[in-house]
Amino acid sequence: MVTVIIKRPPFLTKRLTKSGKIPSKQIKGTSLKSLVKLRGVIASPFEKSPIEGGMMFFKKGKTEVLRYALWVSRKLSRTYGPMVRAPARAVELAFFLYGFRSPVKEPGTEKKPGWAVPDWQRAYREGPRTRINWSMLELNPYVKLLYRIRESTVHVRV
């Protein structure tokens, strides 16, 4: 029988303190989270809805509806998602860095552009039982911009 002993490199071993914990440091920072709420209807490839046309009673009709739903979800998440994600993150960062009048980033100190924009609504909640307060800008009945700023603490290994 042959026994092979493999030693771990020194940078992979855990440095433990006397209490047995890995030494870490707390870092506090502010972060911005934003959402775009869209309310609308995606058009159907059927002239009549599947239920009105009686297609839901046939197996072939069900598979066609499910196939179309899968196609739409893949198209939205894999085709249009990456094209929108990077510019949206860039706009979030620009708003977080340059969108406030004071260095302390608080709701109510946002800069307004030169054109007509409605005021932000404070303490907006998405549902009746949610606890998170957002600042909301309603552009039209179908599009809402939401953001919130929060302080978060992160533990980083030393």
In total, how many domains does the chain have? 1
Contact 111, 99 (CB under 8 A): yes
In this prediction the pTM is 0.57
The separation between the first and the last C-alpha atoms of the chain, rounded to the nearest angstrom, is 41
Q: Could you tell me the pLDDT band of residue 68, with boundaries at 50, 70 and 90?
A: confident
Residue 52 included in any domain = yes
Residues 95-122 pLDDT 10s: 888 888 888 888 888 888 777 878 888 8
Residue 4 included in any domain = no
Residue 33 included in any domain = yes
Q: Could you tell me the pLDDT band of residue 47, with boundaries at 50, 70 and 90?
A: very low
Residue 1 included in any domain = no
Residue 35 included in any domain = yes
Q: Could you tell me the pLDDT band of residue 1, with boundaries at 50, 70 and 90?
A: very low
The span from the CA of 121 to the CA of 137, in Å, is 6
Render the burial of 35-70: b for 16+ CB within 10 Å, e for the rest: eeeeeeeeeeeeeeebeeeebeeeeebeeebeeeee
For 71, the domain range is: 10-157
10 Å CB burial of residue 121 (0-12, 13-18, 19+) is middle
Residue 5 included in any domain = no
Task: Select the more confidently predicted residue: 17 or 122.
Answer: 122
Q: How confident is the model at residue 11, as a pLDDT?
A: 53
Residue 3 included in any domain = no
Alpha helices in the chain (DSSP H): 59-74, 81-98
> Which among 109, 106, 117 has a CA at the least distance from the CA of 143?
117
